[in-house]
Amino acid sequence: MTISSKALKDKHKNHRQKNTMGVLDEAFIQAPEHRPKTHLTNSGDYILSNEIPTIDLSSLQDPHCDKTALAAEIAEACMRWGFFQVINHGLSLDLMRRVEKTVAEFFSLTLEEKRRVKRDEVNPMGYHDGEHTKNVRDWKEIFDFFLQDSTTVPATTEPEDTELRKLTNPWPQNPSDFREVCQEYAREVEKLAFKLLELISISLGLPGDRLTGYFKDQTSFLRFNHYPPCPNPELALGVGRHADAGVITVLAQDSVGGLQVSRRSDGQWFSVKPNPDAFIINIGNCMQVWTNDKYWSAEHRVVVNSSKERFSMPFFLFPSHDTNIEPLKELISEDNPPCYKKYNWGKFFAARNRSDYKKLQTESIQIDRFKAA
Ligand code: OGA
Ligand code: NI
């Protein structure tokens, strides 16, 4: 702890009472090179930025629309940033507001009540306030649920062990409409995710349905993130720098802001200007591998602040557990040999879940491990 002023200590105390996340424990402190530069207000990485492309999906309302123009915009965004924002996406704004409301109500329950639907080492779904990214604890609490109730995953991380496990979602009693609203929202976000997947396939010169076969038994899940105010936002992160592991992520957020994206060309951090009516779409590791590095799975992180809580809702589109991820045959050639070796999605997912759950002795699993020599 570096801050000792009385005011901050008092804030600290209030925080502890209000948010039950405890004082800023050592586990939250980022290494100096990974701390956000929150003191930079008009230079460096803390300027609000509109740099990531915004794509207007209104033409998709017409089922006979020509998708090639949209696909071209998406191709450009996926190559340069691996991140873009979509507006006029077809999801009901009323539904978005309803899910935000019930999620805020859930997180305002007592810790005791939230822990009744706690995640554990067998089932990664439910409530959790001990998430780690690259072995540093994140300043947030979460609630996760699988899109498919139940979802089949490998029972262990052992490569030779073929035993499977069926997992179901733990749902809280309160708020009473929570489950229904969350599931309605999940189905709508899923539809949007598959429309985007189709556009991405077209953008790669592939048939629109080229990738759908990998999702028969999808392991996709929805996450609600709650980032409480943080007494030391210059030392901690809401989520440490990471790239999402799956295919694509479809994220909604409130108007507070805090998401930052690392630019592909130079690694510079850019803040994303929040728009609660839009979705942020980002490319995950699977898509980067499928496209043999043509599309970029950007590192991103979340900075927190000392006065405002923030909510966000990512949907992680994940393939079936038995999918082997490797560069798509159609996209490799003699001039463009595969950059990655094949890996099994289910085993990768299981290993990631272990490392997010608690601090491990070793580095968490990353796709770099599958880079071809
Ligand atoms: C995540 C994530 C960003 C945000 O949960 O993987 O990157 O804005 N969240 O909350
Ligand atoms: Ni992420």
Atom of ligand 1 nearest to the CA of 301: 7
CB of 223 sitting under 6 A from ligand 1: yes
Read off the tokens for 244. 């999402």
141-173 pLDDT per residue, tens: 999 999 999 999 999 989 899 999 999 999 999
CB of 195 sitting under 6 A from ligand 1: no
Q: How far is the CA of 314 from the centre of ligand 1 (A)?
A: 6
CB of 237 sitting under 6 A from ligand 1: no
Cβ burial, residue 192 (10 Å; 0-12/13-18/19+): buried
297-325 pLDDT per residue, tens: 999 999 999 999 999 999 999 999 999 99
- Pocket perturbation via mutation, ligand 1, pick of 312, 355, 364 by most ligand atoms within 8 A of CB: 312
Across all residues in the chain, what is the average pLDDT? 89
Phi, psi of 250 (to 5 degrees): -120, 105
The answer to whether 189 and 147 have CB atoms below 8 angstroms apart is: no
Q: How far is the CA of 282 from the centre of ligand 2 (A)?
A: 8
256-285 pLDDT per residue, tens: 999 999 999 999 999 999 999 999 999 999
Which residue did the predictor score with more confidence, 183 or 23? 183
CB of 259 sitting under 6 A from ligand 1: yes
Question: Does pLDDT of 20 surpass 60?
Answer: no
- Of all ligands present, the nearest one to the C-alpha of 284 is 2
- Of all ligands present, the nearest one to the C-alpha of 251 is 1
DSSP 8-state secondary structure symbol assigned to residue 371: B
Cα separation values, 176 from 115, 173, 343, 362, Å: 17, 6, 41, 41
Q: How far apart are the first and last CA of the chain?
A: 43
Q: How far is the CA of 226 from the centre of ligand 2 (A)?
A: 14
102-130 pLDDT per residue, tens: 999 999 999 999 999 999 988 999 999 88
Q: Mean pLDDT throughout 24-51?
A: 69
Which residue did the predictor score with more confidence, 16 or 367? 367
Cβ burial, residue 366 (10 Å; 0-12/13-18/19+): middle
Q: How far is the CA of 352 from the centre of ligand 2 (A)?
A: 13
CB of 244 sitting under 6 A from ligand 1: yes
217-259 pLDDT per residue, tens: 999 999 999 999 999 999 999 999 999 999 999 999 999 999 9
At which residue do the structure tokens 């799956």 appear?
A: 246
Helix, strand and coil in the chain, % to nearest 5: 30, 20, 45
325-357 pLDDT per residue, tens: 999 999 999 999 999 999 999 999 998 877 666
Q: How far is the CA of 257 from the centre of ligand 1 (A)?
A: 11
Q: Is the pTM above the cut of 0.75?
A: yes
CB of 225 sitting under 6 A from ligand 1: yes
CB of 314 sitting under 6 A from ligand 1: yes
How many angstroms separate the CA atoms of 314 and 325, rounded? Answer: 22
